[in-house]
Structure 1
Amino acid sequence: MADHGLKFEIESKTVAEFRSLDKSGELILQPEYQRKAVWPDRAKVSLMETILLGYPIPEIYLAYETTPEGEQTASVVDGQQRLTSLLEFLNNRFPLDGLEDEKLREKFEGKLFKELPDDVRQEFFQYRFPIRRLSNLADEFVRAVFARVNRVNMVLTEQELRNALLPGPFNDFLKDCVAHPISELSGVFSGERRKRGGDLEFYAEVFGTCIFGLSNKKTELNERYDKISADFEDYQDRSAEFLELLTVLSSTIKWVGRTRWSNIVDMFTLLHVSWGLREELANTNPEQTMQLRDLLDLFQRAVSARKRSGENGEANGLLVSLATMVNMTAEEVDKVIEQYTSGIRNSSDLGSRRVRSQQLTLLLSRKLKS
């Protein structure tokens, strides 16, 4: 058994003690490796109901760190959702809506914490949480405990585990991508995707594809992520190029409402294709940039029209306009749109990704080289 001088002490803390720790600033609810609070209200209410009933709750893992000056902090390794919900309830952030226990429902349904009777609040503050205390662990071991506990409980996504186990420059670069204006302009990430690290995973996969080429997501992502994370200095220049590419695309695309570029599949293809043409894109003059903007807008509208109406309808006029821009026949452009649209099915499949990239590259390269 590995001996890292780890101490795992078992103790307990009352609700009142957790509130005091939070007020004093000694409780760190969201260390860097933790995910954001994602519990829905019904889960929060269920936890409060459990406390009111006096039922047991799974133990909370706290990593204590004491400085030579005697200052102490407690970081939440496991139990962040529970403690965040608890403190929100104590601060009257949500009412007890949807209680399951009939007696509690009759007495407290719809009430905030401050509206509960004095004796109930007093008893609530005395409820004890079981605590697993981790004392003065090195950061790498705290992260390992966090990842292992959550892997066993199956509560983290793959990206949340990567965030915990692989901090550092690559993770910081991915955060820069997520914070880039293009992420907001495109509307490509839902709130739930952002909460669970899906935005970080998206950029990790796109960047890995730009560096190593197209692949099947499921089979290659983890291996590529580990490699780039371990040797990020080797990819520093290309990470700067990638961020610059995001800036170029931010000013090139027509961001009006939801477009095809608001979809993960299409945005992935756009970024991968644009990376291959990044030098040409960076050297366009204002007139060429406007033409590219129109081209990409016509393209995404034609794809959407094809998906809605098949062979005929709105797509025909868009095809003619596209054909004129790239000096192709409408029939040739129609084939490009047809093949690209077919590649949207089985979107993460290597063959589908290859088809989409080939067709978009064909149109963009013709325009850039004309």
Structure 2
Amino acid sequence: MADHGLKFEIESKTVAEFRSLDKSGELTLQPEYQRKAVWPERAKVSLMETILLGYPIPEIYLSYETSPEGEQTASVVDGQQRLTSLLAFLNNKFPLDGLEDEKLSEKFEGKFFKDLPADVRQEFFQYRFPIRRLSNLADEFVRAVFARVNRVNMVLTEQELRNALLPGPFNEFLKDCAAHQLSTVSGVFSGERRKRGGDLEFYAEVFGTCIFGLSNKKTELNERYDKISEDFEDYRDRSTEFLALLTFLSETSKWAGRTRWSNIVDMFTLLHTSWGLRKELFNAQSDQRMQVRDLLDLFQRAVSARKRNGDNGETAALLTSLATMVDMTDGEIENIVEEYTSGIRNSSDLGSRRVRSQQLTLVLSKKLKS
């Protein structure tokens, strides 16, 4: 058994003690490696109901640090969702809606904490949480404990585990990508996907694909992630280029409402294809950039029309406009759009990814070289 001189002490804390720690600033609810608060209201209410009933809950892991001056802080290693929900309830952020226990429901349904009788609030404050206390651990061990506890409990996504175990410049680069205006204007990420680190995982996969080539979804993601994270300085210049590409696409493409590029599958293809043509895109003059803008818009509309209605007048008109723009025949463009559309099925399959990138590259490179 490894011995790092670590102390794992078992103790307990009352609700009142947690509130005091939070108010004094001695409690860090969301260390850098933690995921964001993602519990739905029903889960929060269920926890409050458990406390009101006096039932036990799983232990909370706290990492304590004591400074040479005797100042002590506690960071939540595991239990952030529970404590965040608890403190929100104490601050009257949500009511007790949907209580399952009939007796509690009769008394407290729809009430905020401030509305509970004084004796109930007093007893609530005295409820004790079981605590696993980790004393003066190095950051790497705290992260390891966090990842292992959550891996065993199967409550974290793969990306949330990577965020915990692999901090550093690559992780910061992915955060820059996720915070980029392209992510906002495209509307490509749902709120739930962002909460669980799906936006970071998406950019990690796209960037890895740009560096190492296409692969089946997730097949090589962990290996590539580890390599880039470990040797990020080797990829620093390309990360700068990648961010520049995001800026180019955010400023060049049409983003009025949702488009095909607002879908994860199509955005993946757009980024991968554009990366292969980035030199031509960056060197394009303003008029050519506007043509690229119109081309991408026409292309995604043609794909949507074909996917939605098959062969009809709307699709034909879009294909004709697209063919004129890139100096191809209607038949050639129709084949390209049909191939791309077929590649949307089995969207994460290597063959499908390859088909989509090849077809979009055919159209985009034709315009850039004209």
- Aligned residue for 2:62? 62
1:81-230 maps to which residues of 2 (within 5 A)? 81-230=81-230
Give the secondary structure class of the aligned counterpart of 2:21: helix
- Aligned residue for 1:255? 255
Distance in 1 between the 2:97 and 2:270 partners?
A: 45
Letter in 1 for 2:154: M
Letter in 2 for 1:352: S
Distance in 1 between the 2:115 and 2:88 partners?
A: 15
Give the secondary structure class of the aligned counterpart of 1:331: helix
Give the secondary structure class of the aligned counterpart of 1:120: helix
Distance in 2 between the 1:314 and 1:86 partners?
A: 55
Give the secondary structure class of the aligned counterpart of 1:75: strand
Letter in 2 for 1:364: L
Q: Provide TM-score, normalisation by structure 2.
A: 1.00
Give the secondary structure class of the aligned counterpart of 1:217: coil
Letter in 2 for 1:30: Q
- Aligned residue for 2:268? 268
Letter in 1 for 2:19: R
Distance in 2 between the 1:323 and 1:337 partners?
A: 11
Distance in 2 between the 1:103 and 1:246 partners?
A: 55
Distance in 1 between the 2:242 and 2:219 partners?
A: 23
Distance in 1 between the 2:103 and 2:217 partners?
A: 50
- Aligned residue for 1:72? 72
- Aligned residue for 1:307? 307
Runs of at least 5 residues in structure 1 that lack an aligned partner in the other structure? none
Residue by residue over 1:250-287, the C-alpha shift from the partner in whole angstroms, topping out at 9 and shown as x without a partner, is: 11100110000100000000000000000000011111
Residue by residue over 1:36-66, the C-alpha shift from the partner in whole angstroms, topping out at 9 and shown as x without a partner, is: 0000000000000000000001000000001
Distance in 2 between the 1:181 and 1:86 partners?
A: 34
TM-fit CA distance, 1:311: 2.0
Distance in 2 between the 1:228 and 1:338 partners?
A: 36
Distance in 2 between the 1:186 and 1:122 partners?
A: 49
Distance in 2 between the 1:316 and 1:256 partners?
A: 23
Letter in 1 for 2:119: D
Distance in 1 between the 2:127 and 2:345 partners?
A: 52
Residue by residue over 1:59-95, the C-alpha shift from the partner in whole angstroms, topping out at 9 and shown as x without a partner, is: 0000000111111110000000000000000000000
Distance in 2 between the 1:40 and 1:109 partners?
A: 17
- Moved runs in structure 1, 4+ residues, more than 2 A? none
TM-fit CA distance, 1:4: 0.6
- Aligned residue for 2:244? 244
- Aligned residue for 2:364? 364
Runs of at least 5 residues in structure 2 that lack an aligned partner in the other structure? none
1:289-308 maps to which residues of 2 (within 5 A)? 289-308=289-308
Distance in 1 between the 2:34 and 2:71 partners?
A: 23
- Aligned residue for 1:354? 354
Letter in 1 for 2:193: R
Give the secondary structure class of the aligned counterpart of 1:257: coil
- Aligned residue for 1:15? 15
Distance in 2 between the 1:111 and 1:311 partners?
A: 57
Letter in 1 for 2:138: A
TM-fit CA distance, 1:219: 1.1
- Aligned residue for 1:334? 334
Could you say what the CA RMSD is over the residues aligned between the two structures, in angstroms?
0.5
TM-fit CA distance, 1:217: 1.5
Letter in 2 for 1:233: E
Distance in 2 between the 1:251 and 1:126 partners?
A: 56
